[in-house]
Amino acid sequence: MQTDDSLTVLRVLPRGPHGLGRDVVAASQRGRLLEAMAHAVAEKGYGAASVADVIGRAGVSRKTFYVHFRDKLDCFLAAYDVGVEVLLATVRAAGEGEGDPLAVARARTRAYLQALAAEPDFARTFLLEVSAAGPEALARRRDVHRQFADLSRELVESVPGAPELPGELYLASVGATNEVVSAWVVADRAAELPALEDVLVHIQLSLLGRPFSGQSD
């Protein structure tokens, strides 16, 4: 699972005495726990993954785990939130400087697929295992879908003369994308996800295509 650059650097802290400050060590421990949670859940599934699996992978004590998180769910949701934050930022930044909305949509689709392909454990956690983590996790997923839908809405509404589309259409585009990508992750084809770029762009155009085509009422 990919986190921000600071946590990526902190994960390589040496073991034993190192003279680093407490907050640096704490940040490193938390980052390792988040990454370990994504790997453990991807390997065993949310239900079967345990705190023992997470701390074993992270190389920290059980006491340290509970300094950072209330329980397994709390750690899982934190890992999900960090991963989603990075994924959304990656997608939002794609296509910057492009004047053509269709080119932006394609760049964002490509960035989304490449990010998931690069982190297959996070892809499984983000797309599949979140459904097994209970009502709070499902509420987080609905909110994430709304954020992706809002990105599409902002892009479509940036086109002069674009019609006002129902919010359900944007959610439908996100839901269709999620379903297609999830099917490949279930089939252990996460590394091949970039090959879905044309399919996903076609889905977006089918549902939201009039503004991209330049037509007007």
Residue 14: per-residue pLDDT: 36
The tokens describing 29, both together, are 């421990």
* pLDDT value at 21 more than 80: no
DSSP string, 53-94: HHHHHHT--HHHHHHH-SSHHHHHHHHHHHHHHHHHHHHHHT
* pLDDT value at 13 more than 60: no
- Size of the chain in residues: 217
Which segments of the chain belong to CATH 1.10.357.10? 74-213
* pLDDT value at 18 more than 70: no
Q: Which tens digit of pLDDT belongs to each residue from 94-128?
A: 988 887 889 999 999 999 999 999 999 999 999 99
- Contacts of 42 by beta carbon, 8 Å cutoff, 6+ apart: 120, 121, 122, 124, 125, 129
Per the prediction, the chain carries an average pLDDT of: 85
The tokens describing 157, both together, are 């509404």
- The architecture of the domain spanning 74-213 is Orthogonal Bundle (1.10)
Mean of the pLDDT values across residues 141-167?
Answer: 91
Q: Which tens digit of pLDDT belongs to each residue from 197-209?
A: 999 999 998 888 6
Q: Which tens digit of pLDDT belongs to each residue from 41-59?
A: 999 999 999 999 999 999 9
Residue 26: per-residue pLDDT: 59
